[in-house]
Structure 1
Amino acid sequence: MSVSVAVHDPAHDPEPDGWAVFREAARLHAPWDYGLLGVESRHALHPTALAVATVRGRIAAAMTATVVRGPAGVTLLEVHNPWVSGFPGWAFADGFGPRSRVRLLRRMERRLCRFAGLSCVGLLYRYVPADGLPLVSGFGRLVREAMGTSVLDNRFPTVEDWISSLARSRRHSIRGQVRRVDRDPDLVVRFGAARDDLDGEELAALVNRHRARLGRPKFDSRAPVSGEYLHALVRRDDVLTLTYHDRTGRLLAFADLLDHPAVPLYQHWAALSREEGGRQHLYFDSYARLMGHVVATRREGLSAGRGRLELKQSLGLATRPLWVAAVPRPVAR
């Protein structure tokens, strides 16, 4: 198998030939769109690099990495898509078995390290699922279990069936919260795709205030999300956005759902605090509305990413284990 690997800088380089076809065939979430990768990279503290492996002129695999420039000029490649929590930072075309996938991944590792320069100390794979461990394990590679991700298996004919499956206290609280939201005359709720009525700067300001209030996670190399990024994201047909406004038009909270043929991802949630005039109960209401889409479209499940795992378990989401894998530069040669 003859493999050719090229590394692209989405912030400046043109889109690789065949990328849109590959992304659709590999069923990748919206943030893998090349244009969105470029927007994210231009606003990031650390740029994004996209490695693309081709076999017989067609894209066979891809890997996205954040090029983190650390102290003393040391560079680390974080293999992940920054805004797709809980999913690995690689993808493969159909027709490649386990041995071929390992070979493709190793070729992309080496090419990314050369791209990052002599200061590169290696790669750190984030969000490695159980079935991805054979791809990143081996001599000289350090693999450790990390925080898991929340996933709900959709076995429900209706949203009410999902609510009924929850513990008594939680299902009673969700029903009550949904009723309160529906009956609130001062609350305007909208949920749909391609939301061209929303302003990305307003969304970003709310997200970044919300994230700052919760505190920055350890080892998070991401910059605050940009208004340009969210402005483009919520206008896509494969992204659904749920908003809560008051009657004056003030944005109180929003959530976005990265739609997917199998497992949509609940990506962002942000809300005003009570001190800022925000409302209680909207977070749980958002799950009921997003689950409405998952159930109605017969998706296999819903992913809600990492963090707040115990709370998400009360909503019926199970924690699936994830691992991190460190690959020193000499091992990746």
Structure 2
Amino acid sequence: MMETAVLTEGLSVRLHNPVADPEPADWAALRRRAGLRANWAWPVMRAGVRSGADPLLLAVLSDVEGPVGLVAASVVPPRRRDVSGRWPRLGYLHVQAPQSSALPGWWLAPSTVDDRRDVVRAFRRAARRALGPGVAGVLWRQLGDDDQAWLPRPRYARRTEPLAVLDAPASVDAWLAGLRKKRRSNLRHVRKLVAADPDLQVRTGPVGDVVTPAELAHLARLNLAKHPGGGGPRSGHRSPLWQESVAFRDDVHAVAYRDSAGLLLGAGTILDHPTWPMWLSWGALPVDEGGRRHLYFDLFWRLVDRVVEGRAAGMVLGKGMPDLKADLGARLVPQHAAVTL
């Protein structure tokens, strides 16, 4: 299905299917304006849909002056999807950032609650016109405490796992000083272990330079085995296709740990951003397969280094293991999910 244009609520709504539609001429500029990371780049979204479970509907809403809203929603059918990637005629919309369970799947330019509500209502009406009445509701995730005010007719809402963010410390020493004494001591011990390990090499750089897409996909599948849920064994980050789509991008970086024989022991990926870079993923070999127990904590130290040196406002650390991240200095931001009609 090619790009669809709908006029509703005085707004023009362009509906795109990233698998079937070419990248719009204004997409890169809109992505920069909205402050969206590499997971919203057109070829990266396309790879995510092709390796994922559900097709993606991308709505760009504009008034006479230009874009005022953007919504990404997986179109979830009641049964297994058509492998063509076409939008199904039955199911529901799942609004979530492409390949990220940590960030919202929307950008809204208006600042007032009423104007935001109008944009969201226009999105829902345009989607229903394009998809038909069989696509019944909208599931919104990553809602902050203030976001529910602009949701139209919420029918169900609940608190979900919090989002961990690291506010930029004045220095690495200032970050360490704010931690528990035992945690601080353990981190310093880990740092010494890594520095003194003659069989450990650490490299940072673009995916493709320091680690291959296939290696990252393998580590992501190992991580899924430890923390099941969130897609199939070869969807999204667990797919070499998706990892290939971010390879050699200057806004996606990896930290890779190898032994002296070249075996990848662990790797983390970061989506760059001028003020809030995001820790996207981490995976590591089990200890009984040659892995190291302490690499996660070494990587966390390096993330703090990156924030301080880059003079960022902080880093989005994602969901999962919130208690551990809080113990490492993160702030936990309440999150909610809601269903609307």
TM-score norm. by structure 1 comes to: 0.90
Q: Which of 81, 92, 113 is equivalent to 1:76?
A: 92
RMSD of Structure 2 on Structure 1 (CA): 2.1
Identical columns (%)? 33
Aligned counterparts of 2:12 and 2:254: Cα–Cα separation in 1: 39
The Cα shift of 1:8 comes to 0.6
Alignment match of 2:144 (pick from 116, 125, 129): 129
Counterpart amino acid of residue 49 in structure 2: S
Is structure 2 residue 220 aligned with structure 1 residue 204? no
Q: Is the 8 A contact 1:18 1:59 kept in 2?
A: no
Other-structure match for 1:331: none
> Counterpart of 1:113?
128
Conserved in 2, the CA contact under 8 Å of 1:88 and 1:127?
yes
> For the residues of structure 1 that align with 2:131 and 2:196, how far apart are their CA atoms?
55
Q: Out of 58-67 and 80-89, give the one that drifted further.
A: 80-89
- CA distance, structure 1, for counterparts of residue 302 and residue 143 of structure 2: 29
Distance 1:303 1:157 in 2: 17
The CA deviation at 1:125 is 0.2
Q: 1:148 aligns with which of 152, 162, 173?
A: 162
Q: Residue 292 and residue 195 in structure 1: after superposition, are their counterparts in 2 closer, same or farther (change >3 A)?
A: farther
- In the alignment, which of 68, 74, 90 is matched to residue 66 of structure 1? 74
Contact residue 142 and residue 327 of structure 1 kept, 8 A: yes
1:42 equivalenced with 2:50 (yes/no): yes
**Post-superposition shift, 1:284?**
0.6
Gaps of at least 5 residues in structure 1 are 329-333
CA contact (8 A) 2:39 2:45 kept: yes
- The amino acid across from 2:188 in the alignment is R
Structure 2 match to 1:251: 264
Look up the match of 1:188: 201
CA drift of 1:209 comes to 1.9
- Name whichever of 248-257 and 196-205 sits farther off: 196-205
Amino acid at match of 2:24: P
TM-score, with length taken from structure 2: 0.88
Provide the rounded CA distance (Å) in 2 between the counterparts of 1:221 and 1:228: 14
CA shift digits 1:275-326 (9 cap, x unpaired): 2211110001000011111011111112111111111111011211011110
Give 1:239 deviation, angstroms.
1.6
Whether the aligned pair in 1 keeps the contact of 2:204 and 2:210 (CA below 8 Å) is: no
1:79 Cα deviation from its structure 2 partner? 0.2
5 Å-filtered alignment, 1:1-333, equals: 2-56=10-64, 58-71=66-79, 74-93=90-109, 97-136=112-151, 138-154=152-168, 156-193=169-206, 195-216=208-229, 223-225=235-237, 226-328=239-341
The alpha-carbon deviation at position 257 of structure 1 amounts to 1.2
Residue 140 to residue 163, structure 1, CA distance change in 2 (3 Å):
closer
Q: Once the 2 structures are TM-superposed, how far is the Cα of residue 110 of structure 1 from its aligned partner?
A: 1.9
Measure how far apart 1:231 and its partner are.
2.2
Post-superposition shift, 1:259?
1.4
**3-state DSSP class of the match of 1:241?**
strand
Amino acid of the residue matched to residue 44 of structure 2? L
CA distances 1:133-189 after superposition (whole Å, capped 9, x unpaired):
2121x43532222211111211x2221221221101111111111111111111110
